[in-house]
Each structure stands twice: as structure tokens, then as C-alpha cells.
Amino acid sequence: MDATKKLQDVVSVDMHAAKGLLSSGHCYLDVRTTEEFNKGHIENALNVPYMYFTQEGKFKNPEFLNQVAVLCKKEDHLVVGCQSGARSHRACVDLLNAGYEHVTEMGGGYSAWVDNGLAQHKPAEYFKTSLKLR
């Protein structure tokens, strides 16, 4: 059995490389909250929140891997992103440890995507600031 994957095992690319992967057939998995996703997202993205934010604080979605399994096969090529890169990095570790073989993290997240002019529909100014939800 392979060793447990850690944060340093995650392959991370910038938003331009991620755009190239998406145009070559990779699937974009957005791990932001549903509320964040609904304010703006990459075209054809799948949304499975990795964390939830409540008045009591933030907590990991206990059904994350099960929800991803409904939408993606373990052999699918995935680009994983969030708002700034913190949640997606952790989500990639969980996906790799669950047996997903082709997982790449988009560094900088959706904020970098928007800030670099890659968003088709410019979202609210909320996304123009790089939120650090670490």
C-alpha cells in the first residue's frame, strides 16, 4: 500500500496552466461553499464544499469524499480549486488518499482566476480581493 499523501505531495499549478488542463478535458472541482460558488465560478465547474462556515466556526464537510464520488470517478482528471488555495490544497490530499489518481490543485484559487481576467462573467467586487480562508 502506498504511503499516506501529505500537503507536499499535491501537484499545484497556476491559473493559466489550470485553464489549459480544463480545455484539454480535465474537470474543475470547486470546493468553496455553495454560497461562494453561486456568486461566481468557472464554467462547467462541479461544486462540493470541503468546509462549511457557521456562527460556531468552520468545519470540514464530513460527506466530502462521498459527495465527490457521486460526481467523479477515481480515474477522472481533476483540477481542484477554492477561493484562495487553502481549502483546495487540503481537499487534494483527501482525494489522493481516497484513491483519486489524477488530482491537480489550482494555486491562488478563484480569486487568482478573476484577478487575471479569466472569468467570463465578472463577479461581484467581493471576488476581486484575495480572501485568505486558512
Q: Which residues are annotated as catalytic?
A: 82
What's the confidence (pLDDT) of residue 7?
86
Domain that holds residue 74: 9-118
Those residues whose C-beta lies under 8 Å from the C-beta of residue 123, and which sit 6 or more positions away, are 39, 40, 114
- The verdict on residue 19 lying in a domain is yes
Amino acid at 20: G
Q: What are phi and psi of 26, to 5 degrees?
A: -70, 155
The CATH number for 64's domain is 3.40.250.10
pTM to 2 decimal places:
0.86
Q: Quote the number of domains for the chain.
A: 1
Mean pLDDT, 10 residues at a time, over the chain (134 residues)? Answer: 82 94 97 94 96 92 98 98 93 97 95 86 49 42
In a domain, 126, yes or no: no
